Amino acid sequence: MQYAQKNYLQLMGRTVNGVAPRFRIDQIGCFLVSFTNLVNEGGVAIDPIGLNNIFRDRGIYTDIDDKVFDDLGWGSIGAVYPQFVLGKTANTGINRTAGWPSNNRSIVRFYYKSVQSGQMIFHFCKVADAAKHLILDSYDGKVKPSPYGEPTGWAEYAYPTPQVVVPVQPPSSVVGKQLFLPAEAGTWRVYPKNKPAVVGNEVGKLWPGNPAWAPGLLYDILGNPSTNVYTINTNTWGQVNIYAGPDTIAQFRDKVVAPSPPPTPPAPAPVTPPVSHQPEVKPVETPKVDFRSTAQKLVNTYRAKETIDVNDFAQVGVHSTLNAGNLVRSAQRFEVEGKKYIRTAKSVAENKWFGIPEENLIPANDPSDESIAPIIADIRKEDEDESIFDLSTELNELNKNLRGRERLVAIVGTVTGTALRILQAIKPSNIFKKKEVK
């Protein structure tokens, strides 16, 4: 499968020293997409989002020019997939051509003037045909002669030739069967039933790669509205369509129906067992570790370091978004496969198990004036956005009779100790004034 960076709007890079990623894959992700197309040709099934997550989580991204860790090098892919061995390279700077590599297992670098910005920029592409000087353009995923001039650098890679795998064809009638999404897929788009199943129309994503749902997700197929498009039912979005063509790693399975149990034979006459004078030996049961049993009380206030998806480990397919800078009031800490997660006070109150990776949180300090300003602006909105990351369910109960803007003022004042400045800025009603003594 050939990938194009223009189809991916996710942020690229990792947060370091408080500096978060600023640019999306469709803006600067040509090197990332070149690596994606290279490893797929070498037998590794992964999309740009999955590879971006691996580079981020393993600390591969580095900084070259702007203090944002979103840059890659020729050898970055070998740090993730050792079978892709960096071979010959050429680098002539920005003003002279480096020629073309000798084979298609290569990535070339161009330096050209951008039509959109008018700036001189780098652009990386996978080589489609070295002899004919054709590229697989990272921007639109098309094979073409280079519109960017001659390469100013390139790198060749050695990797095993993948075995030819015959795609699993869906059965002639799939309704009543099941669709399995392996964990290796990472994420999978789903689409509304009234729109074509193409990138841009998606309503959300499934996450078969979540360790809590290994080895993947399994759904009953409810319909087959068009070629390679199937209707399934999800917990989060209800009935949606999903693309599962032969170019994906989706699997079709027969639905297993439990056989009817045989008729129960008549019970035999009771037999009195012989009396044993030996002590009863009970088998030792190996306890099963459930993430709920690892939960321990932890009351603290944190701030999110970066924007992430947060999943409910107790419900398949249910997730929400935690934005960078959000305040989080913790109630418990629990573990899943050795990784620590924070459970919010509201999740406990609503009997949900949204888990925020502890590594993505930092203890919250008193906010600066710059952080108070957006809070005041949010208070002045007519409709408040109530998310699962409330500062404190106790304050919600305490102030349940207060109006929306006054309740938020009380919460911010309690956590930051800066209520007086906020009260002066928004002039709350008489509920916060002293009662007149007659």
What Cα–Cα distance (Å) separates residue 155 from each residue in 38, 140, 161? 12, 21, 18
What's the rounded mean pLDDT across residues 209-225? 87
Higher pLDDT, 158 or 376: 158
Q: Per-residue pLDDT tens for 52-71?
A: 999 999 999 999 888 999 99
For 161-170, 292-301, 423-432, which range has the lowest pLDDT when averaged over its residues? 423-432
How much is the pLDDT for 263?
67
Nearest Cα to 356, choosing from 396, 324, 385? 324
Nearest Cα to Cα of residue 31 among 228, 350, 23: 23
Domain borders along the chain are 5-158, 178-253, 291-363, 369-432
**With bands split at pLDDT 50, 70 and 90, how would you rate the model's confidence at 287?**
very low
Q: What pLDDT does residue 435 have?
A: 40
If one compares 166 and 11, the residue with the highest pLDDT of the two is: 11
For the full predicted model, state whether its pTM sits above 0.75: no
Strand order in the sheet with 251-253: 216-220, 178-182, 251-253
Q: What's the whole-number mean pLDDT along residues 18-35?
A: 94
Q: Is the dihedral of CA 298, 300, 304, 308 positive or negative?
A: positive
Q: List Cβ neighbours of 276 (8 Å cut-off, separation of 6 or more).
A: none
Beta bridge partners of 363: 302
Phi, psi dihedral angles at 369 (to 5 degrees) = -60, -30
Closest by CA to 51, choosing from 69, 39, 63, is 39
- The Cα–Cα gap between 224 and 232 comes to 9
In this prediction, residues 195-224 reach a mean pLDDT of 87
Inform me whether the pLDDT recorded for 134 exceeds 50.
Answer: yes
Where residue 136 falls among pLDDT bands split at 50, 70, 90?
very high
pLDDT-wise least confident of 203-212, 281-290, 423-432: 423-432
Is omega for the bond preceding 279 within 30 degrees of 0, making it cis? no
Look at residue 183 in the predicted model and tell me its pLDDT: 87
Please, which residues have CB within 8 angstroms of residue 376's CB and are 6 or more apart in sequence? 422, 425, 426
pLDDT tier, 386 (very low <50, low <70, confident <90, very high otherwise)? very low
Give every CB contact of residue 147 below 8 A, 6+ residues apart in sequence.
137
CATH number of 291-363: 2.30.30
Looking only at the bridges linking them, the beta strands covering 229-234 and 354-357 are: unpaired
More confident residue, 248 or 387: 248
Q: Which long-range CB contacts under 8 A does 160-164 form with residues at least 24 apart?
A: 160/42, 160/43, 160/83, 162/41, 162/42, 162/43, 163/43
Provide the pLDDT confidence category of residue 311 given band limits of 50, 70 and 90. confident
Q: Is 317 left (phi over 0), alpha (psi -120 to 50) or beta?
A: left
Which three-class secondary structure state does DSSP give residue 86? strand
Backbone torsions φ then ψ of 287, nearest 5 degrees: -65, 140
Mean of per-residue pLDDT scores for the chain? 79
Mean pLDDT on 203-214: 85
- Which alpha helices (DSSP H) does 344-418 contain, by range? 345-349, 369-379, 393-398, 404-416
Question: Does 195 have pLDDT greater than 70?
Answer: yes
**What is the pLDDT, as a whole number, of residue 236?**
85
Q: Quick one: three-class SS letters along 307-346?
A: CEEEEECCCCCCEEEECCCCEEEEEEEEEECCEEEEEEHH
pLDDT value, residue 171:
53
Question: Could you read off the pLDDT of 318-370 as tens digits, one per residue?
Answer: 778 888 888 889 999 999 888 999 999 988 998 888 899 999 898 876 444 34
Sign of CA dihedral 118, 123, 127, 132: positive
* pLDDT: which is higher, 282 or 214: 214
What is the three-state SS of the chain? CCCCHHHCCCECCECECCECCCCEHHHHCHHHHHHHHHHHHCCCCCCHHHHHHHHHHCCCCECCCCCCECECCCCHHHHHCCCCEEEEEEECCCCCCCCCCCCCCEEEEEEEECCCCCCEEEEEEEEEECCCCEEECCCCCCEEECCCCCCCEEEEEECCCCCCCCCCCCCCCCCCCEEEEEHHHCCEEEECCCCCCCCCCCCEEECCCCHHHCCEEEEECCEEEECCEEEEEECCCEEEEEECCCCCCCEEECCCCCCCCCCCCCCCCCCCCCCCCCCCCCCCCCCCCCHHHHCEEEEEEEEECCCEEEEECCCCCCEEEECCCCEEEEEEEEEECCEEEEEEHHHHHCCCCEEEEHHHEEECCCCCHHHHHHHHHHHCCCCCCCCCCCCCHHHHHHCCCCCHHHHHHHHHHHHHCCHHHHHHHHCCCHHHCCCCCC
Q: How confident is the model at residue 275 (pLDDT cuts 50, 70, 90)?
A: low
Report the DSSP beta bridge partners of residue 364: none
Band (pLDDT 50/70/90 cuts) for residue 111 is: very high
